[in-house]
Amino acid sequence: MNEPSKGLTACSRCLLLGVICLFTVPAQSMEFGASLNYGAYYTNNANLTEDDTVDEWVQEPGFNVTASQDTASLQMDAAYSYQRRIYEEDQYSDENVTTGTGSVIWAVIPNRLDFTAQNTRSWSTRRSQGTTNPDNLQVVSNSEAGPTLRFQPRQGDELQIGYRFSRDVRDSTNNDSQRNNWNTSYRLGLSPNRGFILQGNYSDIKYDNSPDADQASATLGYQQTSDSVDFDVSAGYSDFQRDDQDSVNGGIYAASLTWRQSGSTSFNFTANRSIQDQSNLFYDNPDFDDPIIEDSDSNAVYTLTDGGFNWNQELGARTSFTLGAYASDEDYDSEEQDNTRYGVRLSLDRELTRTTTLQTSIDYSNSDYDLGDDNQDEYRARFNVNHTLGRALTLSWGAEYTDRKADATQSYDETRFNINLSYQVLGTRDR
């Protein structure tokens, strides 16, 4: 992993400043939580391969911590979990994993100057065409911090000028980066619930092991909310300039529509087009003759076009379901890296008793990669039963089946059984 940079140190100081702010408000307004957890799962295919299947028990003892604050001067919300992952058959090395999110918004001058600090630690694959076995997973940490100035030129309008320093760190792949992000927006309020928004953004990007870059974009949008419909649409232009490489530019847009047909039925539609960067290559070449690159020095820029749909329905007081679908297209400079994806999901939640709930879902996804002419179909079915055993003790157990068919990369099927026990030692019980 890369050595910490001065930028990372600066961001850490900003995050520390946000934490210090927590102690400037009355302690009774702060809410803390902590729980001890023991999880374990059995898999009949630890390597996620078609032929070399290995049974494995994985134990995951750990703990969760939460904190929240909501006052006029400070808003804070944090939830992190730590796990010690232990492989009984030693198929993979035991590891410590910390994931979660945290954010602090400090109103330095109410309605005029805010300071924001936030962090996210989440799982990511190293190679998108690979399976999700432990060798292809890593934790990505993103931290950012900075101020936002707010002005009200006239009633109903607001001008915002903001800056964020961000640092992206990956556990394994050699693609860390830091960014200086400036943004300006002006909201022209037509009424309290609708208005136009003009926005401009500029980012100076420095990759630890790739050519530096900068990105500028401008959009004009319209927002409107009501009791039954929320509508948000914007369109503009983005230009991504890379040192010693061709630039990538073009039109961008974002649209979101939420329709609450009734108290028990709602629909959501999204459509987006953006220019993004992904700091890794998938394979050394499309013929797969050479090893997979895990520490690529290339920052690949692509145009992402995607959209989605969700139908949320409550069936009485104890049952609800969600039907969702999505599609995306990634268009790179190198056509070999182009890929398209789509999928559907049906999930059902049922309250079996006052203390027991059932969660089930069925997923299908397809990924089509030009690189290696690889087409992947994945089917997944799962269920989970959650029991509340007391004011502080919860138990959950379930199973999951995955069937993956790939033309060029790894096909496999896996059955997994899991169990988790959680004891709340501080604060109210996790929901």
pLDDT digits (tens, 9 = 90+) for 185-236: 999 999 999 999 999 999 999 988 778 999 999 999 999 999 999 999 999 9
Q: What pLDDT shows up at residue 14?
A: 45
Question: pLDDT above 70 covers what percent of the chain?
Answer: 88
Asked if pLDDT for residue 286 goes beyond 70, the answer is no
Asked if pLDDT for residue 89 goes beyond 50, the answer is yes
Average pLDDT taken over every residue of the chain: 88
Which residue, 128, 15, 4, is CA-closest to 76? Answer: 15
- Residue 76 domain-assigned (yes or no): no
Asked if pLDDT for residue 370 goes beyond 50, the answer is yes
Q: What pLDDT shows up at residue 281?
A: 41
pLDDT digits (tens, 9 = 90+) for 346-357: 999 999 999 999
- Residue 69 domain-assigned (yes or no): no
Domain that holds residue 281: 6-27+109-391+398-418
Q: Give the domain CATH number at 159.
A: 2.40.160
- Residue 92 domain-assigned (yes or no): no
Asked if pLDDT for residue 392 goes beyond 90, the answer is yes
- Residue 304 domain-assigned (yes or no): yes
- Residue 165 domain-assigned (yes or no): yes
Tokens 């269920």 locate to 383
Q: What pLDDT shows up at residue 229?
A: 97
CB contact at 8 A, 216 and 275: no
Tally of domains within the chain: 1
- Residue 193 domain-assigned (yes or no): yes
Question: pLDDT above 90 covers what percent of the chain?
Answer: 71
pLDDT digits (tens, 9 = 90+) for 397-414: 999 999 999 999 999 999
- Residue 63 domain-assigned (yes or no): no
Q: What pLDDT shows up at residue 166?
A: 96
Contacts 24+ apart (CB under 8 A), 98-103: 98/139, 99/123, 99/139, 101/77, 102/67, 102/76, 102/77, 102/78, 103/75, 103/76, 103/77, 103/78
